[in-house]
Amino acid sequence: MTVTQGQPAPDFTLPDQDGSAVSLASLGGQWAVVYFYPKDDTPGCTAESCSFRDSYEAFTDAGAKVVGISSDSVESHKAFALKYNLPFTLLADVDGTARKAFGVGKTFGLIPGRVTYVIDPEGIVRGTFTSQFKPKKHIDEALAIISGS
């Protein structure tokens, strides 16, 4: 079942690009923008991640943490973050645990979904945005939700 607006976000614990365990609960008390993306270093995912990077200051100024999640390995995330100077956390969901908990499916039954969740400081999902083919729009949607609250 897909997590929707108004529902509590499921907690998870996954390794970040440095191999450290990060849980959603550890981000408590502040806004979190959690974006699921298909794969490191592909054109759409790079555009999306670099757009989050370019807007990172707007998110931090709004009191939000940005977290990207894909099924890539810790090593892949480390290389991706270094290559594009990504200042936020990337989490390795190698077995799909978090993706499954949030109900993020596949596009055309093949490509892991691209979905962004905006989670308030109490852990409630305040907005979602799904678009496989408009990766940069995820940033605008997330900022609009955070600033409109």
Which tokens is 25 given? 């609960």
Task: Tally the residues of the chain.
Answer: 149
The yes-or-no answer on residue 45 being catalytic is: yes
CB-based contact 125:49 (threshold 8 Å): no
Q: Side chain identity at 16, as an amino acid letter?
A: D
Q: Which one of 14, 22, 27, 45 is the catalytic residue? A: 45
Sign of CA dihedral 99, 30, 137, 77: negative
- Using CA atoms, how far apart are residues 86 and 67, in angstroms rounded to an integer? 11
Strand ranges inside the chain, DSSP E:
13-15, 21-23, 31-36, 64-70, 89-92, 106-107, 111-112, 115-119, 125-130
* Catalytic residue IDs: 45
